[in-house]
Amino acid sequence: MKNLILPAFALLIAFSSCNNQQPTTQTEVSVPVRVTEVARKTIRNTLTVNGTVSPTGTSEAKTESEGEYRLQRNPRTGAPYKMGDRVNKDEVIVKLENPEYILSIRPDAKALDWENARSEYDKQKSLYDKGGVTLNELKKSEISFLNAKYDNENSQMQMSKLIVKAPINGVIVDLPYFTPGTKVASGTLALKVMDYSKLKLNVEFPEKYITTVFSGQEAYVTNYNLKDDTLIAHIDELSPAINESSRTFKGVMLVENPELKMRPGMFVKSDIVIEKKDSTIVIPRDVIRKSRRGEVVFVVENNAAVERPIKTGIGNDTEIEIVDGLITGEKLVVEGYEMLSNRTKVKVQN
């Protein structure tokens, strides 16, 4: 039995040796990545504050006399004025009809009296220059002229109480409805106008930013419901005093709103630019990895990921400036970098 096992064992060893001598092949797998070209752009580091915007101008107009209500037509639309219409200062929005009031003022007669008195005064001046009348007669004529002038101006002022004008440039935000011909009393609210082509934003800044923010500083204002419409703003006023309870200081920002996209009363976010660099290399913050060499990113060279040490500058929540380590035009890995090490073979899938 022993003589039979030994040849069999030898045969097994020989077979195993033959298998070990067969050559093996190993295929290196390329890691799929996405890249972006390194480029220069502007980067901003911002301080975010929130608040509610308000109009820079608000004014109400009330009736100054009683009369029958007549809403006028907007010359730009051809329709009666309504809320949301833009108006210019002194545009006539409402007229009041009151024949008895007009009869008591007698505006036409006052205007005619003034014309006659002016004509008589001019005549007396001419005669006085020629010696035809005395100085006393000229003075009496002048007094009559001035009295007629003031009476006419007063009648015009009284007549103006029968119309309601837009008090400022802006947008009608309140226009109480009255049936045409309804008699309204003096002191009735006729319309309210807001100017929100510029908006005010009152904010509170944390105390630690007392030396960081300054008057004239640029900001970007966004409403949470209108995220695609970002408006330019700047700091207009800053309080030098710190609130002892909240450890904050007050500021007022002016928001440019020429197209009236943002409305008074909206809650907004304001990103104030506290640092800014133009034409500098900027990359996404999340592509930076930590290694024994410090902060690194991966760039693609000859189908391989090359680990590149970098030095960073200013940044914000999503982007950061690169002051050393990258040059424009290089292919920066922005997806798939988690699976990479230095010199890993990659396949760009952009």
CATH code, 47-54+195-276: 2.40.30.170
Residue 11: its pLDDT value, please? 39
Of the pLDDT bands very low, low, confident and very high (cuts 50, 70, 90), residue 227 is: confident
| Position 26 confidence tier, pLDDT thresholds 50, 70, 90 | low
Question: Does 287 score more than 80 pLDDT?
Answer: yes
Query: Would you place residue 27 in the very low, low, confident or very high pLDDT band (cuts 50, 70, 90)?
Result: low
Under CATH, which number does the domain 31-43+279-348 receive?
2.40.420.20
Q: What pLDDT was estimated at residue 29?
A: 84
Q: What angle do CA 301, 306, 308 make, to 5 degrees?
A: 120
CATH of 101-160, one of 3.40.120, 3.30.1330, 1.10.287, 1.10.10: 1.10.287
pLDDT at 183 over 60: yes
User: Would you call 280 exposed, middle or buried from its count of C-beta atoms within 10 A (0-12, 13-18, 19+)?
Assistant: middle
Q: Break the chain into its structural domains and give their ranges.
A: 31-43+279-348, 47-54+195-276, 61-96+162-193, 101-160
Q: Which pLDDT score is estimated for 17?
A: 45
CATH topology of domain 61-96+162-193: OB fold (Dihydrolipoamide Acetyltransferase, E2P) (2.40.50)
Cβ 249 vs Cβ 211: under 8 Å: no
Q: Judge whether 324 and 289 are in contact, CB under 8 Å.
A: no
DSSP string, 2-24: HHHHHHHHHHHHHHHHHHHTS--
**How would residue 280 be classed by pLDDT, with cut points 50, 70 and 90?**
very high
The arithmetic mean of pLDDT across residues 235-257, rounded, is 97
What average pLDDT is seen over the chain?
A: 91
Q: How confident is the model at residue 131 (pLDDT cuts 50, 70, 90)?
A: confident
pLDDT for res 348:
94
* Fold matches, 47-54+195-276 and 61-96+162-193: no
Predicted structure pTM score: 0.72
- What does the pLDDT look like over 74-95, one tens digit per residue? 999 999 999 999 999 999 999 9
* Rg, Å, the chain Cα set: 42
Sign of the CA dihedral 75, 76, 81, 87? Answer: negative
> Which residue is listed with tokens 């207009």?
236
Residues 156-171 pLDDT 10s: 999 999 999 999 999 9
Q: How far is CA 323 from the centre of its chain?
A: 32
Phi and psi at 151, nearest 5°, equal -65, -40
| CA atoms within 13 Å, Cβ hemisphere of 334 | 16
**What does residue 104 show for φ and ψ, rounded to 5 degrees?**
-70, -25
State mean pLDDT over 14-31: 56
Question: CA–CA separation, 98 vs 316, rounded Å?
Answer: 66
